[in-house]
Amino acid sequence: MGKALVIGCGGVASVAIQKCCQNSEVFEEVCIASRTKSKCDDLKAKLEGKTKTKITTAKVDADNVDELIALINEVKPDIVMNLALPYQDLTIMDACLATKTNYLDTANYEPEDTAKFEYSWQWAYRERFEEAGITALLGSGFDPGVTSVFSAYALKHEFDEIEYIDILDCNAGDHGYPFATNFNPEINIREVSAKGSYWENGEWVETEPMEIKRVYNFPEVGEKDMYLLHHEEIESLALNIPGIKRIRFFMTFGESYLTHLKCLENVGMTSIEPIEYEGKQIIPLQFLKAVLPDPASLGPRTKGKTNIGCIFRGKKDGEDKTYYLYNVCDHEECYQEVGSQAVSYTTGVPAMIGAMMLMTGTWDKNGVYNIEEFDPDPFMDALNKWGLPWKESFEPELVD
Ligand code: NDP
């Protein structure tokens, strides 16, 4: 059917690429391009001979629009899958515009020097993408991504109106290290050390970091502490779910993780302000990333499950209704299948599915869209088929 150009070759990209290779009817060719080309070549060597998908590799600095344009013109992909870092979203979107190529990502743009992430920068491309006759699919990971598709599905099939959404992200995996992050440490720590916020009655309500704590008994996982965080899908769901009164996002953290994080914060190691060290400017958080375990190395050590989903409350036929949609994913099973732990897996699979939706023309509208703006049904079917089956409950425990 077509060709995808994947930018980045880290934890998430490696899963997405393997999933594309399992789906070679749609992904006849994949070009893997990243800053460190040897990682792309290693993945190609691992996959070649086991897939019908033709794999090529390239080196690219995705901060450089001209380099990206040259690569896209050479590869001529049907879609660019941006699985590098949020800092590269806009340069890659610029290159897609210049070459009239479809775009997909899993995280919204964040400037490198301010820990602030929101959609405004990417939504500003709407008209230009429409005029160019191409699509940008934003947030095709798990959260954002699957949680957003869950919301569209709940609205389409289970409710006349959704009033409350609680998104619950539980990772009960144990990697055996006192402290490590499950995806890129810099992005992860910026996210969890920021102030929390939720959407209520048309406004953002801000909280101190980790101020709101709840305990929840997750299906197939058990009781875990979880904390309210700001999360990017709240911003788009607040616009795309009409009549919504409140959206909150909770993520589970263990005591050891939080104690280490507090200590690192207290000594200044999570700061993104440059400091002078032995005559050189360094950013403490980037230095910390260099000494922490590489998320890719957690795969073989991680045991346990993730459970990510959404609890919806609203009205159906004039009656109050509650509905919970979630996926449970097992770290060890993911490792057996693709050599990665479940956090990369739960993000990489939806990235492949989102790309498939655009490449097959199943989702076909020009402009810049968040994933919940498309028909959720084919995506929900694909989740069941490609490794992230979902479950539903009509009487879930609620979060107060
Ligand atoms: P990794 O750090 O493992 O991988 C990032 C990759 O991007 C690396 O291969 C890196 O190259 C490459 N890269 C970084 N900068 C550049 C550049 N300037 N030019 C070219 N390549 C570059 O991150 P993850 O795989 O864990 O995360 C990938 C994305 O997924 C992130 O945006 C993250 O926020 C998002 N994510 C989304 C989730 C969701 O549910 N929606 C959940 C988890 C992650 P190198 O090898 O040289 O460092």
CATH of the domain at 151: 3.30.360.10
The atom of ligand 1 lying closest to the CA of 144 is: 41
Residues 129 and 187 in one domain: no
Are 154 and 56 in the same domain?
no
Phi, psi for residue 358 in degrees, rounded to 5: -80, -40
**For atom 13 of ligand 1, which residue has the closest CA?**
84
Among protein residues, the one with the nearest Cα to ligand 1's atom 4 is 10
Distance 61 CA to ligand 1 centre (A): 13
Assess if residue 199 is contained within a domain: yes
In a domain, 371, yes or no: no
Residue of 167, 183, 286 to test ligand 1 pocket, by largest number of atoms within 8 Å of CB: 183
- 26 with 175, same domain: the answer is no
Residue with the two structure tokens 């009781």: 223
- Does any ligand 1 atom lie closer than 6 A to the CB of residue 145? yes
Q: What is the pLDDT of residues 233-260, one digit of tens each?
A: 999 999 999 999 999 999 999 888 999 9
Region of 361 on the Ramachandran plot (φ > 0 left; ψ -120 to 50 alpha; else beta): left
Last residue of a domain, one of 111, 138, 165: 138
CB 221 within 8 A of CB 307: yes
Show the tokens assigned to 173. Answer: 């995996």
Residue 303 lies in a domain: yes
Q: Residue range 147-159: average pLDDT?
A: 98
For the domain that residue 106 is a member of, what is the CATH number?
Answer: 3.40.50.720
Q: Is residue 400 part of a domain?
A: no
User: Cβ contacts of residue 333 below 8 Å, gap of 6+?
Assistant: none
Measured from the CA of 60, which atom of ligand 1 is nearest?
20
Range of the domain at 90: 2-138
Query: Is residue 231 domain-shared with residue 324, that is, in the same domain?
Result: yes
Residue 115 has pLDDT above 80, yes or no: no
244 CA distance to ligand 1 middle (Å) = 32
Is 101 found in the same domain as 212?
no
Residue 327 lies in a domain: yes
In a shared domain, residues 88 and 151: no
Do 33 and 87 have their domain in common? Answer: yes
11 close to ligand 1 (CB < 6 Angstrom)? yes
DSSP code per residue over 328-342 = EEEHHHHHHHHSS-H
In a domain, 57, yes or no: yes
Domain finish residue from 339, 362, 391? 339
Is 90 exceeded by the pLDDT of residue 55? yes
Element (H, E) at 7: strand 2-7
Out of 6, 7, 12, give the residue to mutate to test ligand 1, the one with the largest number of ligand atoms within 8 Å of its CB: 12
Domain boundary residue, one of 299, 323, 339: 339
Q: How many domains does the chain have?
A: 2
Which of the two residues, 134 and 113, has the higher pLDDT score? 134
Q: Is residue 236 part of a domain?
A: yes
| Burial 245-255, CB ≥16 within 10 A → b, else e | bbbbbbbbbee
Same domain assignment for residues 114 and 247: no
Q: 156 and 112 share a domain?
A: no
Question: Shortest CA distance to 84 belongs to which of 73, 100, 98, 71?
Answer: 71
Note the pLDDT tens digit of each residue in 166-175. Answer: 999 999 999 9
Same domain, residue pair 123 and 168: no
- Which of 31, 83, 119 to mutate for ligand 1's pocket (most ligand atoms within 8 Å of CB)? 83
Task: Based on the fold, state whether residues 309 and 173 are members of the same structural domain.
Answer: yes
- Model pTM score: 0.95
* Residue 386 belongs to a domain: no
Average pLDDT over residues 50-59: 98
Which of 334, 347, 349, 352 should be mutated for ligand 1, with most atoms under 8 A from CB? Answer: 347
How many CB atoms are located within 10 Å of the residue 280 CB?
A: 8
SS3 content of the chain, % helix, strand, coil (to 5): 40, 30, 35
* CA-to-CA separations, 196 to 169, 250, 371, in angstroms, rounded: 15, 10, 23
Atom of ligand 1 at shortest distance to CA of 186? Answer: 2
Per cent of the chain over pLDDT 70 is: 99
Overall average pLDDT of the 173-180 stretch: 92
Residue 212 confidence (pLDDT) above 80: yes
Compute the distance from residue 200 Cα to the ligand 1 centre, in Å.
32
Residues 329 and 195 both lie in one domain: yes
